[in-house]
């Protein structure tokens, strides 16, 4: 439905002030901040003409925890646990982005075995993140069964990740100059057994959900986000790749080790909610391939560089930026140091913030039920937005 069909001037979408109330004949509805479809304390003010969305305005700030400010009062090693709480879904992606920024600032070289361990654990963590999204997203659409299967497989992975990281969710396993724990033989054998198990489950996921006509009718052609919208809002990750943009930080920035593995970046050009869904389902297969190859090539050696920094270590003066491909898009950390024990400035680049910013434009003209499906297809983690 376009602006004219709804009887609204195009400029009205941008100029309307919700504080002044709804236009005549429309209804203001609050989705959240306590609503299951927002997956956290996110509030979306929706103006409706019947069931059609005239305007959708995300309202942030209900979960703000001042991570960037804490990064300026804690020492650099002390801040690492914070990164596991920014995006709890893919905590190790944020771990790597932060320690990578510090290592780039200081010119540190991480031992090869430690980099392999980072790849293995981060990709396993990516699968847990996508399973969490898959189960919750299908639940948003009214399907109860898939989340049971998703959490069954996810629990197995969390049991595995608990072994080298010591936690099941807010992982804090990477250190400046390496990783905190080596991989045990028991962990390696259990991961090798999990890979074929997970591969056998993905066809079942496809038969149960992906090829289900009900799901396809709910997602195909819904919430179309083209490449132009992605560029204007800085959209990255599976959302951008669902719009045909072949951009993955691991490939684009020649990330350590990833170039040597045989894997592909899933890209779909439709730009709708179904395309974003398919990207993530394919990414789980690619992560399994990466983990399998990394385990086969895992070298011996140290897991921490010599003379790794301690809690009161002073970083050299300067600034650095380090990006990593998180489960939801490009995670970025910009550090500025004045030579002290703490950073002078920490700036965190949240993919969810940019991806959500496009929602207001994409949701216009859809019916309310489709607006919920679009929101779920973005795979938002609200603590990352309110960082």
What pLDDT was estimated at residue 292? 97
Query: What value, to the nearest 5°, has the Cα angle with vertex 118 and ends 116 and 119?
Result: 65
Could you count the other beta carbons within 10 Å of the beta carbon of residue 232?
A: 11
What pLDDT was estimated at residue 17? 47
pLDDT category of residue 22 using cuts at 50, 70 and 90: low
Q: For the chain, what percent of residues have pLDDT higher than 70?
A: 94
Question: In terms of Cα–Cα distance, which of 310, 349, 292, 308 is closest to 326?
Answer: 349
DSSP character at residue 199: H
Distance CA 377, CA 37 (A): 11
Could you count the other beta carbons within 10 Å of the beta carbon of residue 127?
A: 24
User: How does pLDDT run across 128-170, given as a tens digit for each residue?
Assistant: 999 999 999 999 899 999 999 999 999 999 999 999 999 999 9
Query: What is the average pLDDT score of the chain?
Result: 91
> Is 171:95 a contact under the CB 8 Å cutoff?
yes
> Is 122:98 a contact under the CB 8 Å cutoff?
no
Give the mean pLDDT of 68-84.
94
Q: What are the structural domains, with CATH classification, of the chain?
A: 68-224+252-310 (1.10.645.10)
User: How does pLDDT run across 307-342, given as a tens digit for each residue?
Assistant: 888 878 999 999 999 999 999 999 999 999 999 999
Q: Which residue has the tokens 């002030």?
A: 17
User: How does pLDDT run across 159-178, given as a tens digit for each residue?
Assistant: 999 999 999 999 999 999 99
DSSP character at residue 273: H
What is the C-alpha R_g of the chain?
A: 22
> Is 160:194 a contact under the CB 8 Å cutoff?
yes
What pLDDT was estimated at residue 19? 46
What pLDDT was estimated at residue 13? 45
What pLDDT was estimated at residue 31? 87
Length of the chain: 387
Longest distance between any two alpha carbons in the chain, whole Å: 70
Give the mean pLDDT of 184-212.
96
DSSP string across 88-152: STTHHHHHHHHHHHHHHHHT----HHHHHHHHHHHHHHHHHHHHHHHHHHHHHTT--HHHHHHHH
Query: Is residue 6 pLDDT above 90, yes or no?
Result: no
Residue 265 CB contacts under 8 Å (≥ 6 apart), including other chains: 241, 246, 248, 251, 286
Query: Is residue 28 pLDDT above 70, yes or no?
Result: yes
Question: In terms of Cα–Cα distance, which of 139, 140, 129, 130 is closest to 169?
Answer: 129
Report CA 264 to chain centroid distance, whole Å: 18
What pLDDT was estimated at residue 21? 55
Query: What value, to the nearest 5°, has the Cα angle with vertex 150 and ends 211 and 97?
Result: 105
pLDDT category of residue 3 using cuts at 50, 70 and 90: very low
């Amino acid at each position: 439905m376009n602006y004219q069909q709804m009887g609204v001037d195009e400029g009205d979408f941008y100029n309307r002030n919700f504080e002044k109330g709804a236009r005549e004949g429309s209804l203001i509805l609050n989705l959240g901040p306590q609503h299951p479809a927002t997956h956290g304390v996110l509030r979306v003010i929706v103006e409706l003409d019947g069931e059609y969305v005239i305007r959708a305005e995300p309202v942030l700030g209900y979960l703000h925890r001042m991570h960037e400010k804490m990064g300026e009062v804690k020492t650099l090693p002390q801040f690492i646990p914070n990164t596991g709480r920014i995006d709890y879904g893919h905590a190790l992606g944020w771990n790597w982005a932060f320690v990578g920024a510090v290592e780039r600032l200081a010119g540190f070289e991480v031992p090869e075995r430690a980099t392999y361990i980072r790849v293995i654990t981060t990709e396993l963590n990516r699968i847990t993140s996508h399973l969490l999204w898959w189960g919750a997203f299908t639940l948003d659409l009214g399907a109860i069964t898939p989340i049971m299967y998703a959490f069954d497989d996810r629990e197995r992975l969390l049991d595995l990740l608990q072994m080298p990281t010591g936690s099941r969710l807010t992982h804090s396993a990477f250190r400046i100059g390496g990783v905190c724990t080596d991989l045990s033989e028991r962990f390696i054998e259990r991961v090798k057994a999990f890979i074929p198990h997970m591969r056998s489950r993905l066809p079942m996921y496809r038969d149960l959900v992906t090829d289900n006509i009900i799901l396809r009718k709910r997602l195909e052609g819904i919430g179309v986000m083209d490449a132009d919208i992605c560029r204007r809002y800085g959209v990255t990750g599976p959302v951008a790749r669902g719009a045909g943009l072949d951009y993955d930080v691991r490939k684009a920035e020649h990330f350590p080790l990833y170039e040597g593995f045989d894997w592909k970046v899933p890209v779909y050009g439709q730009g709708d909610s179904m395309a974003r869904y398919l990207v993530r389902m394919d990414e789980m297969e690619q992560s399994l391939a990466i983990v399998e190859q990394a385990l086969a090539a895992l070298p011996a050696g140290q897991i921490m560089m010599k003379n790794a920094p301690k809690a009161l270590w002073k970083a050299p003066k300067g600034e650095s930026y380090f990006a990593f491909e998180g489960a939801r898009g490009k995670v970025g950390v910009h550090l500025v140091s004045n030579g002290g024990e703490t950073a002078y400035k920490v700036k965190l680049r949240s993919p969810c913030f940019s991806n959500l910013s496009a929602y207001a434009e994409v949701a216009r003209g859809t019916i309310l039920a489709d607006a919920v499906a679009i929101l779920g297809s973005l795979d938002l983690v609200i603590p990352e937005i309110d960082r």
